[in-house]
Amino acid sequence: MTDKKDDIRGIQNIENKYGLVLFRMGLSHLVDVGWSNIDDEAVDECIKQIIAQDEKDKADGKVTFMTPEFQCNILRCALDLTRFSIWTLFAYIKEYVVVGAESERAKHNAGLCPNCGSEVEHGSGQVDDSDYVYKWTCEECGTYGRAYYDMTFSESIVDGGGGE
């Protein structure tokens, strides 16, 4: 059995390799078709069919919505994802995949590397308009960046002075 962090890192690597759109389409394809129907042989056969259809479409003067390369990458991504259990992928989706109209910022968790999910080391910080910005580094994967924290007024406390 693999370690959960290794699985998460592996899924994140696949997401980074294909990009968010292809990753989501690969996940969708995997769930639609099922693990047992996606293997090297099935993917190779589908890729041959996609290429043959593209050649036919070109000969007929048709323009396709998705390029054959894009379609093939969806299949390859789905194949790459078959090495993980459905429960591991569902846990990953729940934790890391933003659904709906949430902003890209919402998928990042404070103190965790957005690339591999490990804890980051915070460095120096400074005020930037209404934010406080920390530099951070992930010792695990070498990613580095900045973390923005909103600064809002909450209260004033008098510590002394004032003349009574």
For the segment 122-139, what is each residue's pLDDT rounded down to a tens digit?
Answer: 888 788 767 788 888 888
H/E stretch holding 80 reads: helix 68-81
CA distance 10 to 15: 9
pTM of the model: 0.59
What's the pLDDT band for 2 if we cut at 50, 70, 90? low
Burial label for 110, CB within 10 Å (0-12, 13-18, 19+), is: exposed
Residue 157: pLDDT above 70?
A: yes
Domain positions in the chain:
1-102, 108-157
pLDDT of residue 159: 79
Q: What is the mean pLDDT of residues 90-97?
A: 85
Higher-pLDDT residue of 104 and 84 is: 84
What's the pLDDT band for 1 if we cut at 50, 70, 90? very low
The conformation of residue 119, written as its DSSP 8-state character, comes to B
Q: Are the C-beta atoms of 113 and 143 separated by less than 8 Å?
A: yes
Two tokens at 94? 């729940």
The conformation of residue 112, written as its DSSP 8-state character, comes to B
pLDDT of residue 110: 73
User: Number of helices (H) and strands (E), helices first, in the chain?
Assistant: 5, 3
Q: Are strands 131-137 and 144-150 parallel, antiparallel or unpaired?
A: antiparallel
108-157: CATH class: mainly beta
